[in-house]
Amino acid sequence: MSTSGSGFLDTIVGELVLLGGQRQSDATHMVVLTPPRRAHADRRYETLFVFLDLGGGGAGSLARVMLERFSLTYWRRGGTVTTALRQAINAANAHMLEENRLLAVSHRRRGGIVCAVLRENSLYLAQVGPAQALLAQGERVMELPAGPGEGASARQGEDRWDVGTAAQPARSPLGISSGLDIHFSHKYLNAGDTWLLTGESWSEGLPDGALAAALAYGGAEEAMLSLERRTTTGAVSALVVECVPHEMLPAPSSSVAQHEQSFGADAVAESESSGRWRLSNPLAGVSIKPGWRESLREAGLAVSDSARTLLTRVLPEPEPVPRQRRGRTGLATADNVLVMAGIAVAIPVLVAFVVVSVYLQRSTIARHDGLLTETDRAIQAAREASAEDARGLWEEALQAAQAALDSAPDDAQLLTVRNEALSKLDALDGVKRPELAQLWDYGVGENRCVAATTMQVYVLDPARDQVTQHTLNQARQGDGSIQPNLVAYRGESVGDGQIGELSDIVWLEANGPWSSDALLILTSDHKLLQYSLSWGVSWVSFETGLAHVNGHDMRPFQGKLYILDPEQNQVWRFLVTDDGFGPPEGYFPAAAPDLSTALDMTIDGAVYILLGDGRIFKFFGGEEQEFQPTGLPQSLVRPVALVSEGDVTSGALYVADAGLQSIVALTKDGRFIHQIKAPVSAQAGALADLEALSIEERSRTLYALAGGRLYALDLPSLPELSSTSD
């Protein structure tokens, strides 16, 4: 299983400005920038793309100043990309607000901005107001940032392409308020992907679907030619960017574009072969990060170079010695007095600077040596400790090794010690670390659901009100670079009705009266749809028979459908009818325990219900069974989901704990088996913010949503453990 994209990408950029169908050279409303020399270290290997839409003519000077404010703020800010983008957009908006205060209300401008940052193979995008961004990956075109249509394929019909079907929400513009509604999006890219930035006033001259159609044919040049062919009147402008492997671009030329002079970009080349073109190289000047000793040596050399430079600039240039004359020599001029005074001040400063630098170097070396000594002591003590004292000493050894690695991350001996300590702790805590294969990144969100089948995985995203489908290969592996299919979304017309707000999904296999495998989709107004690979989406009769069914979780078992209803303290069971399900019957024959804080439910013959305080109820035949997790190396902290494998007496119960960043496996009577954590590698922390679980039992593949990312992993084998039978 592979993740989406890899390595560094370069870009080929086309700047298109058309007025009345004719190309123009004025592109002051958009820029492509690489980091200036004094950019913050966090911004060093990024490329910035900005398209600013201020409406009608006469805004060139305002656009230039706003883009200057934007770029200066962005390159100076550290932290995450989204944080820097937010601050930069706010800086540009603040200037526009100042300009608008000097104008009559009827003359005040409103604008939109869309900006993208390419960092390695990741695209970060932010948008405010009536601006627009489209991304083409393979044959799929999507609109960004996230909207109701994101994830939809570009569909061709009667020579037009549509991205999604639902209308985009209204976007508040720049220049009106300091409180901006900034929409963010993040995508992983591959070579060949193309994206386009434009504004509402710059795309009015295009027919419907022209932007998506231009991108669908692939490549920046083809997209620009397509837009030019479709433009006959009005003003059209777009920034078109095509991703290419780093090796494909030549070294930047010595010519410097107008935008480079204005904003300080270091690696931008420009030609006039086909409109305005840029070859951006975000890796200009990249070098291998040296070790800590090499860094200190380079710091010392830098100090000496700085001292030499300062003395060179302070001391006067050597002058030819004049022919000696007899008599009195002339007095020192005022300039010479100032020079000597400068030298007198500079020398102590330089001496202090060198002394402090040497002191810091020696302090760093001493601190590192101390950490090495502490690590050696801790690891020896842990190796010699008794079983009851081992845990604390191995934890101490791990902390010491990690602290030392912070100052020397490439030290092979420290890495070996760290891994030994971690391995010992994993053995004590029953930790398994299978490889995680990332299938997709859905970004920030919550309350998502996942349902798995033999060859497909489905995800319900309530924030976007859509269900997507990932298709796996014969090895049951996904390709994280392939856009998932859109199965259903809110507002879609099905039969004689429209789909409402989406609530839950389950995969129901053919069993008894239920004659075919299908994905069941529940809406918040308690209507039910089914999706099959053969017939698509259709309504299913769903007879609730109740005034209110506040369903929280839907689960299938042996052809029947169960819905957890915390508000009514009940689990409703729906039997299969000729054309659907219903009417409901209560699972509990008598009053059940308080389920008002129930989070999740799973069924394997018994019914398990997870509560918000971490307790797990188990019921069989409607009667509560004794179930108390035992043998846990650490108590559950923040459990969020659970799923069962096997039947009521075999297999395991898996509990996702976002606080522990692990998935805990229990026997069906609650005994601890092991826990699953992310590998100690680039995937460390991948299981933070766990959301949902689903198991495909034939292949024993677990699918987990964590931090917005969909992962697949092979479940570790289970030991031969007996379990009590109900």
pLDDT in tens, 82-100: 889 999 999 999 898 888 8
Lowest-pLDDT choice from 336-340, 368-372, 609-613? 368-372
Higher model confidence: residue 63 or residue 270? 63
Rounded CA-CA distance 266/45 in Å is 12
DSSP code string of 273-335: SSSEEEEE-TTTT--PPP-HHHHHHHHHHHHHHHHHHHHHHHSPPP-PPPPP-SSPPPPPPHH
The verdict on 368 and 472 lying in the same domain is no
CA-CA distances (angstroms) from residue 389 to 382, 384, 400, 427?
8, 10, 17, 15
383 belongs to a structural domain: yes
* Predicted local confidence at residue 362, as pLDDT: 58
Residues 260 and 310 in one domain: no
507 and 387, same structural domain?
Answer: no
Q: What tokens appear for 667 in the block?
A: 């026997």
- Could you give the CA distance from residue 676 to residue 124 in angstroms, rounded to a whole number? 31
Can you read off the two tokens belonging to residue 396? 């101490």
Pairwise CA distance, residues 454 & 604, whole Å? 18
**CATH label of the domain that carries residue 195:** 3.60.40.10
Q: What is the DSSP letter of 21?
A: T
pLDDT tops 70 at residue 429: yes
- Look at residues 10, 33, 48 and name the one whose alpha carbon lies nearest to residue 192: 10
* pLDDT greater than 70 at residue 303: no
**Angle at 72 (CA atoms; ends 70, 76), nearest 5 degrees:** 120
Are 367 and 453 within one domain? no
Looking at 395, 429, 463, the residue that finishes a domain is: 429
Whether residue 723 is contained in a domain is answered as: no
Residue 717 scores a pLDDT above 90? yes
Low-confidence winner among 1-5, 63-67, 520-524 (lowest mean pLDDT): 1-5
**Assigned domain for 726 exists:** no
Dihedral in degrees, nearest 10, Cα atoms 294, 295, 301, 303 = -160
- Read off the pLDDT band of 551 (50, 70, 90): low
- Final residue belonging to a domain, choices 378, 407, 429: 429
Does 400 score more than 90 pLDDT?
no
Query: In the structure encoding, which two tokens stand for residue 399, read together?
Result: 């902390």
pLDDT at 365: 59
Give the per-residue pLDDT at 210. Answer: 85
Out of 47-61, 369-383, 627-641, the most confident range is 627-641
List C-alpha distances in Å: 260 to 59, 293, 675: 20, 36, 53
Asked if residue 557 lies in contact with residue 522, where contact means CB atoms within 8 angstroms, the answer is no
Q: Do 64 and 168 fall within a single domain?
A: yes
Q: Could you tell me if residue 252 is inside a domain?
A: yes
Number of domains making up the chain: 3
Nearest to 185 by CA among 239, 242, 115, 111: 115
Task: Choose among 405, 435, 461, 480: nearest CA to 686.
Answer: 435
> What mean pLDDT, rounded, does the chain reach?
78
Closest by CA to 110, choosing from 181, 51, 55, 168, is 55
- Look up the CATH number of the domain holding residue 532: 2.120.10.30
| pLDDT at res. 606 | 96
Evaluate whether residue 75 is within a structural domain.
yes
| Res. 724 pLDDT band, cuts 50 70 90 | very low
pLDDT tens for 651-689 read 999 999 998 999 999 999 999 999 999 998 767 788 988
pLDDT for residue 454: 86
Q: What pLDDT shows up at residue 247?
A: 66
- Domain shared by 620 and 680, yes or no: yes
* Domain shared by 477 and 620, yes or no: yes
Q: Which of 591, 622, 586, 589 is nearest to 605 (CA)?
A: 622
Q: What is the structure's pLDDT at 26? A: 74
> Same structural domain for residues 350 and 254?
no
Q: What was the pLDDT predicted at 608? A: 97
609: left (phi over 0), alpha (psi -120 to 50) or beta: beta
Q: What is the mean pLDDT of residues 215-236?
A: 81
Predicted pLDDT of residue 161: 32
Distance (Å, whole) CA 489 – CA 466: 4
Task: Report how far residue 377's alpha carbon sits from residue 375's, in angstroms, rounded to the nearest whole number.
Answer: 5
Read off the pLDDT of each residue in 276-290 and give the average, rounded to a whole number: 40
**Of 702 and 384, which is predicted with more confidence?**
702
Distance CA 222, CA 192 (A): 12
Q: Would the pLDDT of 446 be above 60?
A: yes
pLDDT of residue 321: 42
- Is residue 270 domain-shared with residue 306, that is, in the same domain? no
Distance between CA atoms of 169 and 560, rounded to whole angstroms?
39
Structure tokens at 648: 């009521």
Which pLDDT does position 358 carry in this prediction? 65
Does the residue 187 lie in any domain? yes
Q: 10 Å Cβ neighbour count for 674?
A: 21
Among residues 391, 408, 429, the one where a domain terminates is 429
pLDDT for 108 equals 80
In a domain, residue 327? The reply is: no
Q: Does residue 3 lie in a domain region?
A: no
pLDDT range class, residue 380, cuts 50, 70, 90: confident
What is the pLDDT averaged over residues 154-182? 53
Task: Examine the domain organization and report whether 300 and 246 are in the same domain.
Answer: no
The fraction of the chain above a pLDDT of 90, given in percent, is 30
pLDDT tens per residue across span 206-216: 887 888 888 87
Average pLDDT over residues 113-125: 91
- Please compute the mean of the pLDDT values over residues 287-305 and round it to a whole number: 44
Alpha-carbon distance of 457 to 450, in angstroms, equals: 7
Q: Are residues 515 and 421 in the same domain?
A: no
pLDDT one-digit tens code per residue, 457-468: 999 998 889 999
Contacts of 408 (CB under 8 A, 6+ apart): 291, 292, 368, 414
Q: What is the spatial distance between Cα 570 and Cα 625, in angstroms, rounded to a whole number? A: 16
The per-residue pLDDT for 360 is 59
- pLDDT bin (cut points 50, 70, 90) of residue 695 is very high
| 95: three-class secondary structure by DSSP | helix
Which residues 6+ apart lie within 8 Å of 10 measured at CB? Answer: 243, 244, 245, 246, 248, 249, 279, 280, 281, 282, 283
Q: Which region among 443-447, 546-550, 684-688 has the lowest average model confidence (pLDDT)?
A: 546-550
Pair (441, 423) in one structural domain: no
Q: Which domain holds residue 477?
A: 437-714
pLDDT at 220: 86
Q: Count CB neighbours of 571 within 10 A.
A: 26
Q: 376 burial class (0-12, 13-18, 19+ CB within 10 angstroms)?
A: middle
- pLDDT given at position 70: 94
- Name which of 114-118, 158-162, 205-209 the model is least confident about: 158-162
The total of other beta-carbon atoms located within 10 Å of residue 616's CB is: 20
The arithmetic mean of pLDDT across residues 145-164, rounded, is 37
Per DSSP, the three-state class of 659 is: coil
Residue 224 — φ and ψ, nearest 5°? -65, -40
| Token pair for 89 | 């957009």
Among residues 237, 261, 268, the alpha carbon closest in space to that of 52 is found at 237
pLDDT value, residue 711: 93
